Chains A and B, each alone.
Chain A
Amino acid sequence: MTTNTTPAQDRLAASASPAARTAAGRQKREIRLFSRLSSISLMVWSVIILGPLIWVFLSSFKSPEEIFSSPWTLPAKLRWDNWGRAWNTAHIGTYMINSVIVVAISTVGTMLLGSMAAYVLARYKFFGNRFIYYLFVSGLAFPVFLALVPLFFVVRDLGLLGTKTGLILVYISYSLPFTVFFLSAFFKTLPTSVAEAAMIDGAGHVKLFFRVMMPMAKSGLISVGIFNVIGQWAQYLLPVYLVPGGYEKNWVLTQGIAEISTQAGFKSDWGALFAAITIAILPMILIYAVMQRQIQAGLTAGAVK
């Protein structure tokens, strides 16, 4: 707990005027009280954030007796068999792999298709340009719920119900509005001189896009990429609707975890439930630990714009 005095306050305190001196004194007292209260509030919120995460992690190693006795007892030993049951019996392994496959393909697809559309809309003049642009951007105003009922039948009629392909195509489609909106603003800011030079050197439109423009837009692409990975990884509503019961082998992690928590059989196997939650959370925490700066920038990029 340090009291910081600014040069300004020092000057104030040194000045002879008694009024200024009491003002400085009041400021100092106020600062001391303030920093004490603020440290406490920050620590309390940190505990509220980390407490449940640490508790779930520790509980994933506990035996049923330890779970039922009190939430405070530490596990006597590391019971990895809880994790094994979660991974195999509760199929968390399958759901995890499905989530990784779906998010990996749909993010790459979103970035490729999104930047292609954004680039053309940002830098080429043609009839209907504005119409298509606003068609994409209007998607930012539609809640997913608005399309939900007919979407189910579109996916079913294409024979994609309960498939990873269906989920991937739908994820890409619903990620396009933000991706196009963000990237077309980004492509507009890139200098035209570089593009012209490349054209004079004989580069075609396609080559110009992949060899010159994409590398120049790297920072924007990374931000939107992170935004899409985290958004699609967290998606719950769409998989619940489009990969319903009966297609369990294609379930993603979020719906799998939600299902396990309500399954009657698993109510008694709480050790495995805790392990399942931990397995679902841990990879994201590790990725966040490694690249927290880029993730914070990517997720808030849309709001700052």
Chain B
Amino acid sequence: MRHGKYPFVAGFLFLPVLLYVTFVIYPTLRTFYISMTAWRGFSVAPKWIGFDNYKQLFDDDRFWQAITHHLELLVALPLITIAVALFFAFLLNVGGGSKGGVRTGVWGSKFYRVVFFLPQVLAIAIVGVMFQTVYRPDNTGLVNGVLTKLGFDPVALLVNKNTALWAIMFVAIWQAIGFYVVLFSAGMSSIPAEIYEAAELDGATRASLFFRVTLPLLWDTIQVAWVYLGIAAFDFFALINVLAQDGGYGGPDGATTTLATELYYAASKSKLGYASAIGVVLFFLTLTFAALTLRVTKRETIEY
């Protein structure tokens, strides 16, 4: 077993490590250095300026606008997605009552599961372009086509500052829900049917089955879902880049901007030190969020 082990190990690791260090580790570490410099890219070397980029960033109203949007996304995106996905997963797995001791979903469960998951296989940028046509402000858009048919005035969802972020968030939810329905379904199907039987014998309604049995036993999965969706809220970029009304820079008037969008904008203006500082802030925010969520939502695991 021993002979020729080291050449083999080295041979198998060489290419993966080389690529990974060149394209991931090196640029990632270099970002921390670049964020302390003034650098416009070509030929001239980066000039060390300490924390000036960060000072400038914290004085920038757009930065705080972006932070506000992240907070909104951080609460609304997981809350809505998880609530709706849990509800649907419950219907599809438990809602139909039990047949022969096995919990079943409502009629058509298989069909719904396939349909709900479908958006997950589509590229988010292409989904964004599709919703650009759906949200079109005159009656050639799908939403306004429906509204004008029903006798309402057309709405300009992406142009109005108050609705733009929500309209974009809806697209993310549209795509995400099916994934979490499948994820929660996997968790629910491993809950033994006897627990439901016993609860029903005690006269438990569907609602109390959900809140007293399903929810506590699914807590770990929900926690994972919250972290995933929270990270998605920090990485929010492609949809805004495609849907924001000012060509993808978080418009109208910064109403949909995020840190990733600000980074993209700064980089496109060759403010590379500043863009790197945004990247570093984004990294620490994501890390803090993930650590906090795992800590705060920690519960005793229920064995069953």
Where the two chains meet, the residues of A that have a C-beta atom closer than 8 Å to any C-beta of B are 2, 4-6, 8-9, 12, 23-24, 26-27, 30-31, 34-35, 38-39, 41-42, 45-46, 48-53, 55-56, 59, 67-68, 70-72, 113-114, 116-117, 119-121, 124, 126, 132, 135-136, 139, 141-155, 169-170, 172-174, 176-177, 180, 196, 199, 204-206, 209, 230, 233-237, 240-241, 253-255, 257-258, 260-262, 270, 273-274, 277, 280-281, 284-285, 287-288, 292, 295-296, 299-300, 303-304
Cα–Cα, bound, A136→B259 (Å): 26
> CA of A141 to CA of B290 in the docked complex: distance in angstroms?
9
Within 8 Å by CB of A71, from B15, B142, B231, B282, lies: B142
Residues on the A chain within 8 Å of B182, using CB: 296, 299-300
> In the complex the two chains form, is B149's CB within 8 Å of A236's CB?
no
Cross-chain contact B241 with A236 (CB below 8 angstroms): yes
B142 touches A4 (CB 8 A): no
Name which of B28, B41, B182 has the most chain A CB atoms within 10 A of its CB: B28
Q: In the assembly, what is the distance between CA of A57 and CA of B95, in Å?
A: 34
- Using A39-B107, A176-B20, A300-B186 as known contacts, say yes or no to A150 and B134 having CB atoms under 8 A apart: no
Contacts of B279 in A (CB 8 A): 143, 145-149
Q: Which residues of A contact B287 (CB under 8 A)?
A: 141
Q: A6-B98, A27-B203 are in contact. Are A292 and B114 (CB under 8 A)?
A: yes
Query: Given the complex of chains A and B, what is the CA–CA distance between A205 and B26 in angstroms?
Result: 31
- The answer to whether the Cβ of B283 comes within 8 Å of any Cβ in the partner chain is yes
Which A residues lie within 8 Å of B132 (CB)? 261
Beyond known contacts A149-B27, A150-B34, A300-B182: 15 more, CB 8 A cutoff: A4-B96, A27-B200, A42-B92, A71-B142, A120-B9, A120-B13, A142-B283, A143-B235, A147-B279, A154-B26, A154-B27, A173-B19, A257-B126, A258-B242, A261-B242
State the CA gap A132–B34 with chains docked (Å): 25
Bound complex: CA A197 to CA B126 (Å): 50
Give 13 CB contacts A-B under 8 Å.
A30-B206, A39-B107, A42-B88, A49-B178, A149-B272, A150-B27, A173-B19, A173-B23, A236-B237, A260-B129, A292-B117, A295-B121, A296-B182
Are the C-beta atoms of A236 and B24 separated by less than 8 Å? no
Contact between chains at B5 and A151 (CB < 8 Å): no
Ranked nearest first, the 10 interchain pairs of A and B with the lowest CB-CB distance are A71-B145, A4-B97, A150-B27, A173-B23, A234-B123, A147-B27, A117-B16, A150-B30, A236-B125, A205-B8
Closest to A34 in B: B206
| Chain A residues with CB below 8 A from B41, complex form | 153
Residues of B in contact, count (CB < 8 Å): 107
The answer on a CB contact under 8 Å between A204 and B4 is yes
Q: Is A172 a contact partner of B19 (Cβ separation < 8 A)? A: yes
Contacts of A274 in B (CB 8 A): 133
Could you tell me if B116 and A49 are in contact, using CB atoms closer than 8 angstroms? Answer: yes
Chain B, Cβ-Cβ closest to A55: B142
Interface string of B227-271 (1 = CB under 8 A from A): 010010011011001100001100000000001100100010000
* Given contacts A113-B16, A141-B287, A277 and B97 within 8 Å (CB-CB): no
Assess A254 versus B126: contact at CB under 8 Å? Given A113-B15, A176-B16: yes
Tell me if B206 and A71 are in contact (CB < 8 A).
Answer: no
A41, B126: Cβ atoms closer than 8 Å: no
Q: Is the Cβ of A56 less than 8 Å from the Cβ of B133?
A: yes
Nearest B residue to A304, CB-CB? B186
With A146-B280, A153-B41, A236-B241 in contact, do A117 and B142 touch (Cβ < 8 Å)?
no
A303 touches B280 (CB 8 A): no
